[in-house]
């Protein structure tokens, strides 16, 4: 009996299917091996010296803070693999340094921990009882003050517990003084005078500008409005008249009062 005729195209298709199935089986096998070997390979790299942290790069910090950051990073990661560095945890640790507002930690392979620092900006010198310290705009204590400063305004507050560097002083008087500081910087033109001092107590808030000019604000309510009214009153005065003014009382902003020097 003659052999049955087989279509060559069908033979080629069967061979192609067998090859395709063989490739799929190989791919599955390779994938299974990779699933087993990749974690093992990562573990070996993580615990080897291939990516051991040996250098620290710091940008954005002053020399003093740069040294503190390098010391903290070296203590935390020295000799460890970069793969084991917890960047977010390390950044949080660095942000606990009083002068550091924000920190970003990156791993620069093969051996460098790269740190970018945003510094806090000193906003005012605070006198509270016997304590003197410098604060940022949010009331965070940056450091103790060892001498008076003519370059930044002073905040005079009631005595309180000893402030801790890196922590914020969250009192009603501090909040009021900082609000006055923030608003006065853009409400009062330089032609009037620079804000020199804010005295905040339970009895009221007083802002003192150059030449001893007082803006009496009364309670902490509506500080923005009161400062706006005071600025408008003073701007409308001529410079010679303004120099003769001892105070502007805007504790009742609808009825501002002016007192002149004797």
Residues 63 and 142 reside in one and the same domain: no
Residue 186 has pLDDT above 70, yes or no: yes
Provide, rounded to the nearest whole percent, the portion of the chain with pLDDT above 70: 81
DSSP 140: B
pTM of this structure: 0.73
Distance of CA 86 to the CA centre of its chain: 20
Same domain, 196 and 148: yes
pLDDT of the residue at 1 = 45
What span, in angstroms and rounded, lies between the C-alpha atoms of 103 and 59? 10
In a domain, 33, yes or no: no
**Domain co-membership, 106 together with 180:** no
Asked which of 77, 93, 119 is the last residue of a domain, the reply is: 119
Q: Does residue 184 sit in the same domain as residue 148?
A: yes
b or e along 246-260 (b: 16 or more beta carbons within 10 Å of the residue's beta carbon)? ebbbbbebeebeeee
**Listed residues 102, 119, 136: the one ending a domain:** 119
Same domain, 110 and 213: no
Check whether residue 215 and residue 244 sit in a common domain.
Answer: yes
Q: Which helix (H) or strand (E) holds 78?
A: none
Answer yes or no: are the C-beta atoms of 85 and 105 closer than 8 Å: yes
pLDDT reported for residue 40: 47
- Is residue 194 assigned to a domain? yes
Count the residues in the chain. 262
Residue where the block lists tokens 């000019």: 213
Three-state DSSP class for residue 137 = coil
Tell me, yes or no, whether 255 and 138 share the same domain.
Answer: yes
Per-residue pLDDT tens digits for 2-49: 445 656 766 666 666 666 665 676 566 566 665 654 554 445 445 556
Residue 135 lies in a domain: yes
| Domain count across the chain | 2
Instruction: Quickly state the pLDDT bin for 189 (edges 50, 70, 90).
Output: confident
Q: Is residue 115 part of a domain?
A: yes
The residue-averaged pLDDT of 160-173 equals: 89
**Same domain membership, residue 198 and residue 212:** yes
Structural domain boundaries, residue 131: 124-260
Note whether 200 and 157 are same-domain residues.
Answer: yes
**Which residues, in sequence order, are bridge partners of residue 117?**
103
Between the ranges 35-39, 162-166, 201-205, where is the mean pLDDT highest?
A: 201-205
Tell me which of 119, 151, 167 is where a domain ends: 119
CATH number for the domain spanning 183: value is 3.40.50.11690
């Amino acid at each position: 009996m003659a052999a049955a005729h087989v279509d060559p195209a069908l033979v080629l298709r069967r061979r192609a299917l067998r090859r395709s199935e063989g490739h799929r089986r190989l791919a599955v096998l390779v994938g299974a091996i990779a699933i087993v070997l990749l974690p093992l390979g990562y573990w070996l790299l993580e615990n080897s010296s291939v990516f051991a942290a040996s250098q620290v790069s710091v940008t954005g910090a002053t020399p003093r803070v740069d040294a503190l950051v390098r010391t903290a990073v070296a203590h935390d990661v020295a000799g460890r693999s970069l793969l084991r560095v917890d960047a977010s945890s390390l950044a949080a640790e660095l942000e606990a340094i009083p002068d550091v507002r924000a920190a970003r930690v990156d791993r620069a392979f093969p051996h460098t921990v790269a740190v970018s620092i945003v510094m806090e900006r000193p906003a005012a010198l605070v006198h509270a009882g016997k304590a003197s310290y410098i604060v940022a705009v949010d009331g965070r204590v940056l450091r103790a003050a060892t001498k008076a400063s003519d370059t930044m305004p002073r905040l005079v507050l009631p005595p309180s517990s000893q402030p801790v560097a890196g922590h914020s002083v969250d009192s009603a008087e501090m909040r009021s003084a900082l609000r006055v500081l923030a608003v006065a910087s853009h409400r009062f033109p330089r032609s009037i005078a620079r804000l020199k001092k804010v005295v905040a107590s339970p009895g009221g808030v007083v802002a003192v500008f150059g030449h001893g000019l007082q803006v009496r604000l009364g309670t902490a309510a509506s500080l923005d409005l009161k400062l706006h009214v005071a600025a408008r009153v003073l701007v409308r005065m001529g410079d010679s008249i303004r120099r003769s003014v001892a105070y502007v009382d805007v504790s009742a902003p609808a009825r501002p009062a002016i007192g002149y020097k004797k």
